[in-house]
Structure 1
Amino acid sequence: MTFRDRVEHRNGQYAVYAVACMRGGPQPDLLSDAGWWQTPLWQYAVFAVVIYSRAAAERRSVPVGEVARQIAAAHSLELTA
Structure 2
Amino acid sequence: MTFPGRVEHRNSQYAIYAAACMRGGPQPGLLSDAGWWQTPLWRYAVFAVVIYSRAAAERRAVPVQLIARRIAARHGLELMT
Instruction: State the TM bucket, normalised to the shorter chain.
Output: over 0.9
Partner of 2:8 in structure 1?
Answer: 8
Counterpart residue type for residue 32 of structure 1: S
Partner of 2:49 in structure 1?
Answer: 49
The answer for unaligned runs of 5 or more in structure 1 is none
The 1-side partners of 2:45 and 2:74 are apart by 19
Q: Across the two proteins, how many residue pairs are aligned to each other?
A: 81
Partner of 2:17 in structure 1?
Answer: 17
Deviations 1:13-68 (A, max 9, x none): 00000000100111110111001111000000010000000000000111100001
Percent identity for Structure 1 against Structure 2: 80
In the TM superposition, what is the alpha-carbon distance from 1:80 to its structure 2 partner? 1.5
Moved over 4 A (4+): none
The 2-side partners of 1:36 and 1:77 are apart by 29
Counterpart residue type for residue 62 of structure 1: V
The answer for unaligned runs of 5 or more in structure 2 is none
How does 1:39-78 map onto structure 2 within 5 Å? Answer: 39-78=39-78
In the TM superposition, what is the alpha-carbon distance from 1:78 to its structure 2 partner? 1.9
In the TM superposition, what is the alpha-carbon distance from 1:76 to its structure 2 partner? 2.9
RMSD across aligned C-alpha pairs, in angstroms?
A: 1.0
TM-score (norm 1): 0.93
In the TM superposition, what is the alpha-carbon distance from 1:71 to its structure 2 partner? 1.5
TM-score (norm 2): 0.93
